[in-house]
Structure 1
């Protein structure tokens, strides 16, 4: 499984309005053409609401 980079995450979430729900960010990532691995990581993020991009990065990359 290919690793997701922070740059890929930023590109996938371009145009996000925060605070945002996990479901909204997953939908935005799909709309922005994110690959399935990145979408899966977002879907599995333990947080349901994000106050900003740093929260998303911590949820996606925090335990790696």
Structure 2
């Protein structure tokens, strides 16, 4: 599976209050109508607290 576009991921994370845990990111993306590719990428992130959008993009961009 290819990695989702980080810009698309951030669109679906609109409204996240950082710092945020992985599960918070997944829940927000689900509420914002993210596709399965984005949700799968978020679920695969290390289970830690993310300080901001750039940290999430770095992990997904890998």
TM-score between the two structures when normalised by the length of structure 2: 0.89
Which has the bigger relative contact order, CA under 8 A and spacing at least 6?
Answer: 2
Identify unmatched segments of 5+ residues in structure 1.
none
Aligned residues: 62
Spell out structure 1 runs of 4+ moving beyond 3 A. Answer: none
Aligned pairs for 1:1-64 (under 5 A) are 1=1, 3-62=3-62
RMSD between superposed Cα atoms in Å: 1.3
CA distance in 1, matches of 2:56, 2:43: 11
Unpaired segments of 5 or more residues in structure 2? none
